Protein backbone atom coordinates (compact mmCIF):
# COMPACT_ATOMS: atom_id res chain seq x y z
CA UNK A 1 0.00 0.00 0.00
CA UNK A 2 2.76 2.41 0.93
CA UNK A 3 4.56 1.60 -2.33
CA UNK A 4 1.45 2.39 -4.36
CA UNK A 5 0.96 5.66 -2.52
CA UNK A 6 4.59 6.57 -3.10
CA UNK A 7 4.32 5.79 -6.82
CA UNK A 8 1.09 7.76 -7.05
CA UNK A 9 2.71 10.72 -5.34
CA UNK A 10 5.70 10.61 -7.69
CA UNK A 11 3.40 10.45 -10.70
CA UNK A 12 1.44 13.43 -9.41
CA UNK A 13 4.63 15.45 -8.96
CA UNK A 14 5.85 14.46 -12.44
CA UNK A 15 2.59 15.44 -14.15
CA UNK A 16 2.48 18.74 -12.26
CA UNK A 17 6.05 19.50 -13.31
CA UNK A 18 5.37 18.72 -16.98
CA UNK A 19 2.19 20.75 -17.01
CA UNK A 20 3.90 23.64 -15.26
CA UNK A 21 6.73 23.62 -17.78
CA UNK A 22 4.28 23.42 -20.67
CA UNK A 23 2.27 26.34 -19.37
CA UNK A 24 5.43 28.37 -18.85
CA UNK A 25 6.62 27.66 -22.40
CA UNK A 26 3.24 28.43 -23.92
CA UNK A 27 3.22 31.68 -21.99
CA UNK A 28 6.50 32.56 -23.67
CA UNK A 29 8.61 32.53 -20.51
CA UNK A 30 12.25 31.48 -20.43
CA UNK A 31 12.38 28.26 -18.46
CA UNK A 32 15.10 25.77 -17.66
CA UNK A 33 18.12 27.84 -18.69
CA UNK A 34 19.67 29.77 -15.80
CA UNK A 35 22.55 31.55 -17.55
CA UNK A 36 24.34 33.96 -15.20
CA UNK A 37 27.23 35.81 -16.81
CA UNK A 38 29.33 38.70 -15.57
CA UNK A 39 28.39 42.02 -17.13
CA UNK A 40 24.99 40.89 -18.44
CA UNK A 41 21.91 42.91 -17.67
CA UNK A 42 18.84 41.04 -16.46
CA UNK A 43 17.33 41.28 -19.95
CA UNK A 44 20.51 40.02 -21.63
CA UNK A 45 20.71 37.13 -19.19
CA UNK A 46 17.14 36.09 -19.94
CA UNK A 47 17.87 36.50 -23.65
CA UNK A 48 20.92 34.26 -23.29
CA UNK A 49 18.69 31.46 -22.01
CA UNK A 50 16.22 31.97 -24.84
CA UNK A 51 19.03 32.03 -27.38
CA UNK A 52 20.36 28.69 -26.12
CA UNK A 53 16.89 27.25 -26.36
CA UNK A 54 15.81 28.53 -29.77
CA UNK A 55 18.68 30.05 -31.77
CA UNK A 56 22.06 28.44 -31.03
CA UNK A 57 21.53 25.49 -33.38
CA UNK A 58 21.68 27.78 -36.42
CA UNK A 59 23.45 30.97 -35.29
CA UNK A 60 26.04 29.23 -33.10
CA UNK A 61 27.34 29.73 -29.57
CA UNK A 62 29.41 32.71 -30.71
CA UNK A 63 26.62 34.23 -32.80
CA UNK A 64 28.76 33.83 -35.92
CA UNK A 65 26.21 31.86 -37.91
CA UNK A 66 28.17 28.63 -37.51
CA UNK A 67 25.73 26.54 -35.50
CA UNK A 68 25.53 22.78 -35.94
CA UNK A 69 22.64 23.18 -38.40
CA UNK A 70 24.38 25.84 -40.50
CA UNK A 71 26.04 23.48 -43.05
CA UNK A 72 22.60 22.23 -44.08
CA UNK A 73 20.91 25.64 -44.37
CA UNK A 74 20.70 27.85 -47.46
CA UNK A 75 20.78 30.82 -47.19
CA UNK A 76 23.16 30.69 -44.25
CA UNK A 77 22.20 31.96 -40.79
CA UNK A 78 23.01 35.60 -39.95
CA UNK A 79 26.44 36.31 -38.48
CA UNK A 80 25.58 38.60 -35.58
CA UNK A 81 29.23 39.45 -34.86
CA UNK A 82 29.29 41.67 -37.98
CA UNK A 83 26.50 43.91 -36.74
CA UNK A 84 25.06 43.86 -40.26
CA UNK A 85 21.39 43.21 -41.00
CA UNK A 86 19.26 42.89 -44.13
CA UNK A 87 15.90 44.00 -42.82
CA UNK A 88 16.11 47.58 -41.59
CA UNK A 89 14.25 50.85 -41.72
CA UNK A 90 17.55 52.76 -41.53
CA UNK A 91 19.92 53.85 -44.34
CA UNK A 92 22.41 51.39 -45.80
CA UNK A 93 25.53 50.79 -43.73
CA UNK A 94 23.85 51.75 -40.46
CA UNK A 95 22.56 49.67 -37.59
CA UNK A 96 18.87 48.77 -37.53
CA UNK A 97 16.62 50.15 -34.86
CA UNK A 98 15.71 48.00 -31.89
CA UNK A 99 12.19 47.70 -33.27
CA UNK A 100 13.58 46.51 -36.64
CA UNK A 101 15.14 43.50 -34.91
CA UNK A 102 12.01 42.80 -32.86
CA UNK A 103 9.95 42.95 -36.07
CA UNK A 104 12.27 40.43 -37.74
CA UNK A 105 11.79 38.00 -34.85
CA UNK A 106 8.04 38.49 -35.01
CA UNK A 107 7.80 38.23 -38.80
CA UNK A 108 10.54 35.76 -39.75
CA UNK A 109 12.38 35.98 -43.07
CA UNK A 110 10.81 34.64 -46.26
CA UNK A 111 12.84 32.18 -48.37
CA UNK A 112 15.01 31.22 -45.40
CA UNK A 113 14.99 28.92 -42.40
CA UNK A 114 14.38 31.87 -40.10
CA UNK A 115 10.82 31.29 -38.81
CA UNK A 116 8.41 33.68 -37.21
CA UNK A 117 8.84 33.76 -33.43
CA UNK A 118 5.38 35.22 -32.91
CA UNK A 119 4.54 32.49 -30.32
CA UNK A 120 7.10 34.06 -27.96
CA UNK A 121 5.95 36.81 -25.65
CA UNK A 122 6.79 40.47 -26.31
CA UNK A 123 9.15 40.36 -23.33
CA UNK A 124 10.93 37.29 -24.72
CA UNK A 125 11.53 39.00 -28.07
CA UNK A 126 12.86 42.09 -26.30
CA UNK A 127 15.24 39.92 -24.25
CA UNK A 128 16.44 37.99 -27.31
CA UNK A 129 17.26 41.23 -29.13
CA UNK A 130 19.10 42.50 -26.07
CA UNK A 131 21.27 39.38 -26.04
CA UNK A 132 21.86 39.36 -29.81
CA UNK A 133 23.32 42.86 -29.50
CA UNK A 134 26.07 41.53 -27.19
CA UNK A 135 27.71 39.69 -30.11
CA UNK A 136 28.94 42.80 -31.95
CA UNK A 137 30.89 45.79 -30.58
CA UNK A 138 29.05 47.98 -33.09
CA UNK A 139 26.14 48.23 -30.66
CA UNK A 140 28.46 50.01 -28.22
CA UNK A 141 30.33 52.22 -30.70
CA UNK A 142 27.51 53.11 -33.13
CA UNK A 143 23.91 54.18 -32.86
CA UNK A 144 21.09 53.37 -35.30
CA UNK A 145 20.23 56.15 -37.72
CA UNK A 146 16.77 57.61 -38.02
CA UNK A 147 14.43 55.47 -40.16
CA UNK A 148 14.07 56.63 -43.74
CA UNK A 149 11.01 58.66 -44.65
CA UNK A 150 8.41 56.83 -46.71
CA UNK A 151 5.97 59.19 -48.45
CA UNK A 152 2.29 58.38 -48.74
CA UNK A 153 1.49 55.69 -51.29
CA UNK A 154 0.02 57.25 -54.45
CA UNK A 155 -2.87 55.93 -56.51
CA UNK A 156 -2.10 52.97 -58.75
CA UNK A 157 -2.47 53.89 -62.42
CA UNK A 158 -1.54 52.37 -65.76
CA UNK A 159 0.94 55.20 -66.37
CA UNK A 160 2.69 54.44 -63.08
CA UNK A 161 3.00 50.75 -63.87
CA UNK A 162 4.47 51.52 -67.29
CA UNK A 163 6.85 54.02 -65.66
CA UNK A 164 7.85 51.33 -63.15
CA UNK A 165 8.70 49.00 -66.01
CA UNK A 166 11.02 51.70 -67.37
CA UNK A 167 12.69 52.04 -63.95
CA UNK A 168 13.15 48.25 -63.80
CA UNK A 169 14.97 48.46 -67.13
CA UNK A 170 16.97 51.60 -66.28
CA UNK A 171 18.29 50.19 -62.99
CA UNK A 172 19.03 46.88 -64.76
CA UNK A 173 17.11 44.94 -62.13
CA UNK A 174 16.61 42.26 -64.80
CA UNK A 175 20.31 41.34 -64.70
CA UNK A 176 19.74 39.65 -61.34
CA UNK A 177 15.97 39.17 -61.09
CA UNK A 178 15.40 38.26 -64.76
CA UNK A 179 13.21 39.98 -67.35
CA UNK A 180 10.13 38.26 -65.85
CA UNK A 181 11.28 38.69 -62.25
CA UNK A 182 11.92 34.97 -61.77
CA UNK A 183 15.35 35.42 -60.17
CA UNK A 184 17.09 33.96 -63.23
CA UNK A 185 18.88 36.95 -64.75
CA UNK A 186 22.28 36.59 -66.47
CA UNK A 187 24.09 37.59 -63.25
CA UNK A 188 22.05 35.38 -60.93
CA UNK A 189 24.49 32.48 -60.77
CA UNK A 190 27.47 34.75 -60.01
CA UNK A 191 26.06 36.57 -56.98
CA UNK A 192 27.68 36.27 -53.54
CA UNK A 193 26.95 37.70 -50.13
CA UNK A 194 29.38 39.68 -47.96
CA UNK A 195 31.06 36.44 -46.84
CA UNK A 196 31.65 35.20 -50.39
CA UNK A 197 28.83 32.66 -50.27
CA UNK A 198 26.45 32.10 -53.23
CA UNK A 199 23.15 33.93 -52.89
CA UNK A 200 20.04 33.84 -55.07
CA UNK A 201 18.05 36.86 -56.27
CA UNK A 202 14.43 37.14 -55.16
CA UNK A 203 11.88 35.37 -57.38
CA UNK A 204 8.81 37.60 -57.54
CA UNK A 205 6.77 34.91 -59.34
CA UNK A 206 7.18 32.45 -56.48
CA UNK A 207 6.22 34.60 -53.50
CA UNK A 208 3.43 36.85 -52.32
CA UNK A 209 5.65 38.03 -49.44
CA UNK A 210 8.97 39.82 -49.58
CA UNK A 211 12.06 38.99 -47.58
CA UNK A 212 11.45 41.87 -45.19
CA UNK A 213 7.69 42.26 -45.18
CA UNK A 214 4.44 42.01 -47.13
CA UNK A 215 3.22 45.53 -47.90
CA UNK A 216 3.98 48.07 -50.61
CA UNK A 217 5.71 50.20 -47.97
CA UNK A 218 7.94 47.23 -47.09
CA UNK A 219 8.99 46.86 -50.73
CA UNK A 220 9.59 50.61 -51.06
CA UNK A 221 11.77 50.44 -47.93
CA UNK A 222 13.90 47.66 -49.41
CA UNK A 223 14.71 49.81 -52.47
CA UNK A 224 15.79 52.72 -50.34
CA UNK A 225 17.71 50.89 -47.59
CA UNK A 226 19.11 47.96 -49.56
CA UNK A 227 19.73 44.55 -48.00
CA UNK A 228 23.10 45.00 -46.31
CA UNK A 229 25.38 41.99 -46.64
CA UNK A 230 23.89 41.09 -50.04
CA UNK A 231 24.31 42.36 -53.63
CA UNK A 232 20.98 44.21 -53.30
CA UNK A 233 22.05 47.88 -52.98
CA UNK A 234 20.25 50.94 -51.73
CA UNK A 235 18.80 53.12 -54.50
CA UNK A 236 18.21 56.10 -52.21
CA UNK A 237 20.77 58.21 -54.08
CA UNK A 238 19.57 57.54 -57.63
CA UNK A 239 15.84 56.84 -57.43
CA UNK A 240 13.27 59.51 -56.67
CA UNK A 241 10.36 58.66 -54.36
CA UNK A 242 7.88 58.73 -57.26
CA UNK A 243 10.08 56.36 -59.25
CA UNK A 244 10.35 54.01 -56.29
CA UNK A 245 6.57 53.83 -56.02
CA UNK A 246 6.33 53.20 -59.78
CA UNK A 247 8.76 50.30 -59.40
CA UNK A 248 6.73 48.90 -56.49
CA UNK A 249 3.61 48.85 -58.65
CA UNK A 250 5.41 47.21 -61.57
CA UNK A 251 6.95 44.49 -59.40
CA UNK A 252 3.49 43.70 -58.04
CA UNK A 253 2.49 42.70 -61.59
CA UNK A 254 5.13 39.94 -61.48
CA UNK A 255 3.76 38.27 -58.36
CA UNK A 256 1.37 35.28 -58.41
CA UNK A 257 -1.50 37.04 -56.67
CA UNK A 258 -4.27 38.65 -58.71
CA UNK A 259 -3.58 42.23 -57.63
CA UNK A 260 -4.98 45.45 -59.06
CA UNK A 261 -1.55 46.05 -60.62
CA UNK A 262 -1.65 42.65 -62.33
CA UNK A 263 -5.14 43.30 -63.71
CA UNK A 264 -4.02 46.63 -65.16
CA UNK A 265 -0.92 45.02 -66.69
CA UNK A 266 -3.13 42.41 -68.42
CA UNK A 267 -5.40 45.12 -69.77
CA UNK A 268 -2.33 46.89 -71.17
CA UNK A 269 -1.08 43.67 -72.74
CA UNK A 270 2.29 44.13 -71.02
CA UNK A 271 4.97 41.59 -71.87
CA UNK A 272 8.41 40.86 -70.31
CA UNK A 273 10.83 43.71 -70.92
CA UNK A 274 13.33 43.64 -73.75
CA UNK A 275 16.67 44.80 -72.28
CA UNK A 276 17.85 45.80 -75.76
CA UNK A 277 14.85 48.00 -76.50
CA UNK A 278 15.28 51.75 -76.70
CA UNK A 279 14.41 53.61 -73.50
CA UNK A 280 10.82 54.82 -73.26
CA UNK A 281 10.25 58.58 -73.70
CA UNK A 282 10.48 60.61 -70.52
CA UNK A 283 7.21 60.99 -68.65
CA UNK A 284 5.88 64.54 -68.69
CA UNK A 285 2.71 63.96 -66.69
CA UNK A 286 2.72 65.38 -63.18
CA UNK A 287 2.39 62.71 -60.56
The pLDDT confidence band at residue 169, using thresholds 50, 70 and 90, is very high
Angle of helix 260-268 relative to helix 158-170, nearest 10 degrees, comes to 90
Hey, which CATH number is domain 158-268, 1.10.357.10, 1.20.20.10, 1.10.760.10, 1.10.10.10?
1.10.760.10
Q: What is the pLDDT of residue 12?
A: 43
165 vs 55: CA distance, rounded Å: 40
Fold of domain 43-147: Cytochrome Bc1 Complex; Chain D, domain 2 (1.10.760)
Average confidence score pLDDT of the chain: 85
Q: What is the pLDDT of residue 211?
A: 84
Lowest mean pLDDT among 1-5, 19-23, 246-250: 19-23
| CA terminus-to-terminus distance, the chain | 87
Q: How would you class 112 by CB atoms within 10 Å of its CB: exposed for 0-12, middle for 13-18, buried for 19 or more? A: middle
200 vs 149: CA distance, rounded Å: 28
pLDDT tens for each residue of 50-95:
999 999 999 999 999 999 999 999 889 999 999 999 999 999 999 9
| pLDDT surpasses 80 at 17 | no
Q: Quick one: the chain helix, strand, coil %, rounded to 5?
A: 45, 0, 55
Arithmetic mean of pLDDT, 146-169 = 96
Cα angle value 236/198/204 (rounded, 5°) = 55
Same fold flag, 43-147 and 158-268: yes
How is the chain split into domains, by residue range? 43-147, 158-268
Amino acid sequence: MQTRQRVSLLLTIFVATVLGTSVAQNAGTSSGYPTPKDGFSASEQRGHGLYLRYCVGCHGVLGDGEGENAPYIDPKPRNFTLGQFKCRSTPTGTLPTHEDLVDTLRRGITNSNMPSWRPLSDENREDLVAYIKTFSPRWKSDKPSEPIHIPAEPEITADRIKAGEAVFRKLECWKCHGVEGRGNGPSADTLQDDQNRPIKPFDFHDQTRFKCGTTDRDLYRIFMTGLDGTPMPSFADNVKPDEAWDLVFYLRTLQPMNSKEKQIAKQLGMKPINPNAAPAPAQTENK
